[in-house]
Chains A and B, each alone.
Chain A
Amino acid sequence: GLVVVAFDRSPEVYLDIMLRHGLDSNALSRCVRILDCYSDPLGWKQNIRSEQHQEDSGTPCSTNKDTITIFRSVKDVDKLSCSIIDLGRGFEGEGKTYFSVAVDSISSMLRHASVQSISGLLSNLRSHDQISSIFWLMHSDLHETKFSRAFECLSTMVACVEPEVVDSVYGEERRGDMSFLEHNYSKAKFHVRLKRRNGRVKHLYEELCVEGYDVKFISATSVSIEVNQSLLPKVQFNLELSEKERSDRANVVLPFEHQGKGEPIRIYDGRRSLPEAHQDPNLTTAALLDETEALKSANPKGEIHYLRDSDDERPDSDEDPDDDLDI
């Protein structure tokens, strides 16, 4: 089942979205519970009703009485935690039932409670044996970076939706001109950071496209290559290779790759090359003869077959052969 902790939108909106995406109402009533922290988060409406001596009208929509539960004290984080768990325990099923928790949004929760208490809530939920996953929404520009980071540390996966067009020049000239936003309202960059069990961090990049009610994800492989190349440090000298340099490198024959092209193998051992030695009057003939003897007695029988690895491996390649290990 799914428990939705709704702060930002009316519960009907979530139900409507789920219905629109194909879930039928039976499945909804079986698998979805909404903790309504939107309608009356601080209990003001209840106070008004009790002042006017009106009866409690309960949930706004009578057909969804089981699905939607109103919560009126959002400042009490412990009570919130208990309510979430209670709702989750209410799912029927054979054997042990697991449920997920969705929070919309942590930014709204942070207006009512401290970062520590909310982190504590998430940790409690995380360690609960019936909760299989928790996901929450956070508006990063509404908080200080350190708070966003704190919640990112708690998570195993962080998905960021970033604007396609960033108005870097938000100066006087662009003031009031928001036409660049048109593009941002239908397209965005989607960046996922996955923390693996073995500690490695994997990055995924996609492009997000909103058309009406559908959200499409287009994997942007070209984007990931650009990012990998930008992992090189930014220094004042060029660390990259031009095309000509790349092809020249591909054409280089490594010394241990061949057994000679018909010329005598000149293995450079620190001494001067033979033709130069011939011309040098200081070298004695005996020394020269020694050198030539050494060359001739090189054993031609042993062979080494060297198969060159691919040159295409980029620095910090993402593929870790140990990833297959599931320890």
Chain B
Amino acid sequence: VCCLRHATPAPRDRFASVDTHAHSPLRSMRLRTYVTYFLQLEAEMEEYGAGDLLSEAMCAGARVVVVEDCVEAPAAFVLHLLLKRALAAGGGGGGGAALLALAQPFSHYDRVLRKMGCNLSMHRKSERLHFFDLQGFPGGTQGGAIADSLAQLYSAVQRVVETCRAGENAGRFTVMIDDVSLLEVAANGSADDVLDFLHYCVTLTSEMNCSLVVLIHEDIYSSEDGVGLLAHLRYIADLVIKAAPLSTGLATDVHGQLSVVNKGMLIEQRPAKGQKVWSFHFKVKENGADFFYPGSRH
């Protein structure tokens, strides 16, 4: 079990070599139990997308995920990972995603996820991925019409979620926003309008089996006088993933530390062990990221 936990998902043939021809019925029973257990574990790993520490901390049921990062430890890689898992979710083609991108153009995400083994262009064509290019948001009108632009954006997102849900694939849908700080800038600093928009996105999670993942830059708000968007988001979130640099500085093997706080609001979100706060290190690679407890890097 320990071996499987840190390895990449095992291919199915690994279990073909298990010898079920036993000399005693007890031995064969035990072997069959082990085999069933491993197969179950593998299925679970496939569902969560590899049995790494991040998926263990997150559990399948988290509805509203807030990812916090800073300049020294950017967490865009978490979004990429979650996007890949959202598009791969559910064995038989279920699941889908909507990406509201203010930070980068489509080509950037396509390139990054291609190295991680996920073809965004293909998903976009097959309508599994809905890409909203918001680099020029809100466009022409400014001022009081910000609320209207956001309402229209929400309307588009709701339509996409409804269409996906109505189709054959009734799997988990993920709405991802990269990122909320830029959305606030686009709204001319009006945090209230952004919060209204986010609230409506949150209602989608409870009504339509949908997850919301947002990225926010924590260091923008740390020196603010008033209470910013960050505090509100921390209250709304079911799960907070915070990326921070190591206190000891830069390192080649470890790029930073990740804290996951799983508030477990609803029953299906409570982690089995009851643990609510996870803290581990990460290293970003070309094809993904490694998560490991401090000191256990091999």
- Return the contact of A38 from the options B154, B203, B232, B279 (Cβ within 8 A): B203
With the chains together, A60 CA to B207 CA distance in Å? Answer: 8
Contact with B along A173-210 (1 / 0, CB 8 A): 11111110110011000000000000000000000000
Q: Does chain B have a CB within 8 A of A235?
A: no
A contact patch SS = loop
Q: How far is the CB of B189 from chain A (nearest CB, A)?
A: 15
Q: Which of B119-127, B209-217, B255-263 contacts A (4 or more CB under 8 A)?
A: B255-263
Of B175-183, B240-248, B284-292, the stretch lying at the interface with chain A is B240-248
Q: Are B227 and A176 in contact (CB under 8 A)?
A: no
Interface of B is mostly: mixed
Could you say which interface size class chain B belongs to? 20 to 34
Shortest Cβ gap from A17 to chain B (Å): 11
**A42: contacting residue among B196, B270, B275, CB under 8 A:** B196
Determine the distance from Cα of A185 to Cα of B240 in the docked complex, in whole angstroms. 13
Do the beta carbons of A176 and B259 come within 8 Å of each other? yes
A273 at interface by CB-CB < 8 Å: no
Closest residue to B240 on the A side, CB-wise? A178
Q: Please, which residue of chain A has its CB at the minimum distance from the CB of B275?
A: A182
Give the distance in Å from the alpha carbon of A175 to the alpha carbon of B219 in the complex. 11
Contact between chains at B276 and A182 (CB < 8 Å): yes
> In the bound complex, how far is the Cα of B196 from the Cα of A173, in angstroms?
35
Report the Cα distance A321→B47, complex, angstroms.
66
Cβ-closest chain B residue relative to A111: B192
Among B200, B231, B263, the residue within 8 A (CB) of A44 is B200
Q: A182 contacts which chain B residues (CB < 8 A)?
A: 275-277
A320 at the binding interface (Cβ < 8 Å): no
Determine which of A47, A172, A173 lies in contact with B151 in the assembled complex, contact meaning CB atoms within 8 Å. Answer: A47
Would you give the 0/1 interface string for B165-196, flagging 1 where the beta carbon is closer than 8 Å to chain A? 00000000000000000000000000010011
* Nearest residue, chain B, Cβ from A42: B196
Q: Answer whether A175 and B277 are a contact pair too, CB < 8 Å, given A39-B203, A139-B235, A143-B227.
A: no
Instruction: Determine whether B81 belongs to the interface, using a CB cutoff of 8 Å to chain A.
Output: no
Chain A, range 160-176, C-beta contacts under 8 Å to B: 172-176
Chain B residues at the A interface, C-beta cutoff of 8 Å: 73, 151, 154-155, 158, 192, 195-196, 199-200, 203, 206-207, 226-227, 231-232, 235, 242-245, 247, 256-257, 259, 261, 263, 266, 270, 275-277, 279
Task: Beyond A10-B203, A111-B195, A179-B259, list 6 extra A-B contacts (CB 8 Å).
Answer: A38-B203, A44-B200, A141-B227, A176-B256, A185-B261, A212-B270
